[in-house]
Chains A and B, each alone.
Chain A
Amino acid sequence: MRAPLSWIKDYVALPDTLTIDELTDRLTALGLKLEAIHRADITGPLVVGRVLTMDPEPQKNGKTINWCTVDVGDANGTGEPQGIVCGAHNFKPGDLVVVILPGGVLPGDFVISARKTYGHVSAGMICSGRELGISDDHDGIIVLPTDAGVPGQDALPILGLDEEVIEFEINPDRAYAMSLRGVAREAALGFQVPFTDPALRDTPAGNGEGHPVSVEDPIGCPVFVTRSVTGFDPSAPTPTWMVRRLEQVGQRSISLAVDITNYVMFELGRPIHAYDADKLQGELVIRRAVGGESLKTLDGNVRALSEEDLVVTDASGIIGLGGVMGGESTEISDSTVNVLVEAAHWDATAMFRTGRRHKLTSEAGKRNERGVDPEICEAAADRVVELLVAHGGGSAGRGVTVVGQAPATAEIELEPALPQLISGMPISAEMTNAILQQVGCTTTSAGDRLKVWPPSWRPDLTDPYDLVEEVVRVVGYDDVPSVLPPAPAGLGLTQEQQWRRRLGRLLASTGHVEVISFPFVGTTDLDNLMLADDDPRRTTLRLANPLSSEEPLLATTLLPGLLKTAARNVSRGLEDLALFEIAQVAKGDRMGPTPILGVDQRPSEEELAGLTEAVPAQPLHAAVVLCGNEDRAGWWGSGRPANWSDGIEAMRMLADSLGLELEIAAADLAPWHPGRCAELRLAGEVVGHAGELHPRVCRNFGIPPRSVAAEIDASALEATAVAVPQAEVFSTYPVAKEDVALVVADSVTSAEVSSALREGAGPMCESIRLFDVYVGDQIEAGFKSLAFSLRFRAPDRTLTDAECAAARDSAVAVAVERLGARQRA
Chain B
Amino acid sequence: MSGPNTNYDPVQVSALDEASVFDMRDAALAAINAAIDLAGLKEVRSSHVGDRSPLALANREIGALPPQARKDAGSRVGRARAAVAQAFEARQAVLEDEAQERMLLEERVDVTLPWDRHPMGARHPITMLSEKIADVFVGMGWEIAEGPLVEAEWLNFDALNLGPDHPARTMQDTFWVDPPEDHLVLRTHTSPVQARTMLTRKPPIYVACPGRVFRTDEYDATHSPVFHQVEGLVIDKGISMAHLRGALDHMLQALFGEGMRTRFRPSYFPFTEPSAEMDMVCFICHGSGQQDEGECRTCRGEGWIELGGCGIVNPRVLIACGVDPEVYSGFAFGFGIDRLLMFRHGVADMRDIFEGDIRFATPFGVEL
Query: Using a CB–CB distance below 8 Å, which chain A residues touch chain B?
Result: 28-31, 33, 171-174, 349, 352-353, 356, 421-425, 463-466, 468-469, 472-473, 477-478, 480-494, 497, 501, 504-505, 507-519, 541-547, 552, 554, 565, 568-569, 572, 574, 576-579, 583-584, 586, 590, 592-603, 608, 611-612, 614-616, 618, 631-632, 634-636, 639
Contacts and interface: CB of A to CB of B under 8 A. Distances in A.
Nearest to A635: B113
A543 B142 CA distance: 35
B319 A519 contact: no
Interface in B91-141: 113-124, 126-127, 131, 134, 138, 140-141
B357 A514 contact: no
A33 B278 CA distance: 12
21 contacts: A31-B267, A171-B266, A477-B266, A480-B244, A493-B138, A504-B127, A510-B121, A511-B119, A511-B121, A516-B127, A516-B356, A517-B356, A569-B357, A579-B356, A579-B358, A586-B149, A593-B182, A594-B182, A597-B158, A599-B319, A602-B199
A742 B92 CA distance: 51
A310 to B, nearest CB: 15
Contact of B240 (A424, A477, A512, A635): A424
B316 A489 contact: no
A733 B246 CA distance: 61
Given A490-B142, A542-B178, A611 B154 contact: yes
Given A469-B266, A508-B121, A516-B124, A477 B276 contact: yes
Contacts of A554: 150, 177, 186
Given A519-B226, A545-B216, A599-B159, 18 more contacts: A352-B165, A421-B238, A480-B245, A485-B236, A487-B141, A491-B143, A497-B134, A512-B121, A514-B124, A542-B177, A543-B186, A552-B178, A568-B357, A595-B154, A597-B159, A600-B319, A616-B150, A632-B119
A608 to B, nearest CB: 6
Given A171-B267, A482-B245, A547 B219 contact: yes
A463 B183 contact: no
Contacts of B212: 583
Nearest to A419: B274
A615 B275 CA distance: 30
B284 interface: no
B80 interface: no
A546 B174 CA distance: 10
A602 B242 contact: no
Contacts of B329: 421-422
Interface string B309-336: 0001011100111100000010100000
B140 A487 contact: yes
A517 B124 CA distance: 11
B357 A574 contact: yes
Contact of B154 (A469, A482, A590, A597): A597
Interface string B238-254: 11111111110110000
B129 to A, nearest CB: 12
A493 B146 CA distance: 11
Contacts of B315: 463-465
Contacts of B362: 513
Nearest to B184: A594
Given A487-B141, A489-B141, A596 B242 contact: no
Contacts of B340: none
B155 to A, nearest CB: 7
A793 B62 CA distance: 57
Nearest to B262: A482
Most chain A C-beta atoms within 10 Å of own C-beta, residue among B117, B148, B275: B117
Contacts of A632: 116-119
Interface string B355-368: 11111011001110
Residue in B141, B167, B261 whose Cβ sees the most chain A Cβ within 10 Å: B141
B354 interface: yes
Contacts of B321: 602
B322 A602 contact: yes
Contacts of B356: 515-517, 565, 568-569, 579
Interface of B: 113-124, 126-127, 131, 134, 138, 140-144, 146, 148-155, 158-159, 161, 165, 167, 170-171, 175-184, 186, 196, 199, 204, 206, 212, 216, 219, 225-226, 234, 236, 238-247, 249-250, 261-268, 273-277, 312, 314-316, 319-322, 329, 331, 353-359, 361-362, 365-367
Q: Which secondary structure dominates chain A's binding surface?
A: loop
A501 B122 CA distance: 13
A473 B177 contact: no
Contacts of A173: 268
B152 A594 contact: yes
A615 B175 contact: no
B65 to A, nearest CB: 54
Contact of A484 (B177, B247, B353, B359): B247
Given A611-B155, A616-B184, A472 B243 contact: no
A505 B319 contact: no
A583 B150 CA distance: 13
A577 B122 CA distance: 12
B55 to A, nearest CB: 46
A514 B148 contact: no
Contacts of A489: 141
B182 A514 contact: no
Contact of B122 (A513, A599, A618): A513
A569 B358 contact: yes
Contacts of B175: 543-546
B242 A483 contact: yes
A602 B175 CA distance: 26
A778 to B, nearest CB: 33
Contact of B264 (A480, A515, A518): A480
A169 B175 CA distance: 26
Contacts of B265: 28-29, 31, 33, 477-478
A31 B267 CA distance: 6
A49 B34 CA distance: 118
B273 A463 contact: yes
A490 B143 contact: yes
7 nearest A-B residue pairs (beta carbon):
A424-B242, A602-B322, A31-B266, A424-B240, A565-B356, A469-B274, A515-B356
A812 to B, nearest CB: 38
A634 B138 contact: no
A171 B266 CA distance: 9
Contacts of A603: 199
B116 A594 contact: no
Contact of B119 (A478, A492, A576, A590): A576
A632 B115 CA distance: 10
B339 to A, nearest CB: 15
Given A514-B124, A594-B182, A547 B216 contact: yes
B268 A485 contact: no
A505 B276 CA distance: 37
A724 to B, nearest CB: 20
Contacts of A492: 138, 143
B274 A493 contact: no
A611 B152 contact: yes
B128 to A, nearest CB: 9
Given A482-B245, A510-B121, A543-B177, A635 B114 contact: yes
B182 A615 contact: no
Nearest to B277: A33
Nearest to A546: B175
Contacts of B331: 485
A615 B148 contact: yes
Contacts of A30: 266
Contacts of B115: 634
Given A631-B117, A634-B114, A482 B152 contact: no
A109 to B, nearest CB: 18
Contacts of B152: 594-595, 611-612, 614-615
Contacts of A497: 134, 144, 146
Contacts of B243: 424, 483-486
Contact of A501 (B120, B131, B226, B354): B131
